[in-house]
Structure 1
Amino acid sequence: MKWQRIPLGPLQTNAYILANTKKECVIFDPGGDGQILTAILRKQGLTPTAILLTHAHFDHIGAIDDCLAQWKIPVYIQEKEKNWLKDSALNGSAYFIPGQEILSKADPDILPIEGEFSVGDFTFDLFYTPGHSPGSVSYHCKELGVVFSGDALFQGSIGRTDLPGGSHEQLLDSIHKKLLTLPEETIVLSGHGPETTIEAEMDSNPFLNGFNLS
Structure 2
Amino acid sequence: MRIHVLPSGPIETNAYLLTDARRGEAVLIDAPHDVWASVEPILEAEGCRLIALLITHGHWDHIGDAARVQAAGVPVYAHAADRPLIETPETMAMFLLPGYEVAPTRIDHFVEQGQALELLGKTFEVRHVPGHCPGNVLFYLAPEATAFVGDALFAGSVGRTDLPGGDFNELARSIRTQIYTLPPDTKVLPGHGPATDVYTEMRSNPFVPA
Same fold (TM over 0.5): yes
SS in 1 for 2:67: helix
The corresponding residue for 1:80 is 81
CA separation of 1:122 and 1:32: change in aligned 2, threshold 3 A: farther
1:191 aligns with 2:191: yes
SS in 2 for 1:174: helix
The corresponding residue for 1:113 is 113
Q: Which amino acid aligns with 1:188?
A: V
Gaps (5+ residues) in structure 2?
none
| CA–CA distance in structure 2, aligned partners of residues 151 and 105 of structure 1 | 20
List structure 1 runs of 4+ shifted beyond 6 angstroms. Answer: none
Paired-residue identity, %: 37
Q: Give the superposition deviation at 1:98.
A: 5.0
| CA–CA distance in structure 2, aligned partners of residues 99 and 180 of structure 1 | 38
Superposition RMSD on alpha carbons, in Å? 1.8
Q: Which amino acid aligns with 2:39?
A: L
CA separation of 1:131 and 1:155: change in aligned 2, threshold 3 A: same
The corresponding residue for 1:130 is 130
The corresponding residue for 2:61 is 59
Q: Which amino acid aligns with 2:197?
A: T
Between stretches 145-154 and 96-105, larger displacement belongs to: 96-105
Q: Give the superposition deviation at 1:4.
A: 1.7
Q: Give the superposition deviation at 1:99.
A: 5.8
Gaps (5+ residues) in structure 1?
none
TM-score (norm 2): 0.91
Cα offsets for 1:140-197 (capped at 9, x unmatched): 1011110000000000000000111010000000000110011110000000001110
Between stretches 19-28 and 144-153, larger displacement belongs to: 19-28
1:42 aligns with 2:76: no
SS in 1 for 2:180: helix
Do 1:82 and 1:108's aligned partners in 2 also have CA atoms closer than 8 Å? no
SS in 2 for 1:36: helix
1:200 aligns with 2:200: yes
Cα offsets for 1:14-59 (capped at 9, x unmatched): 0001222313111000111122332332233221110000001111
SS in 2 for 1:178: helix
| CA–CA distance in structure 2, aligned partners of residues 179 and 85 of structure 1 | 24
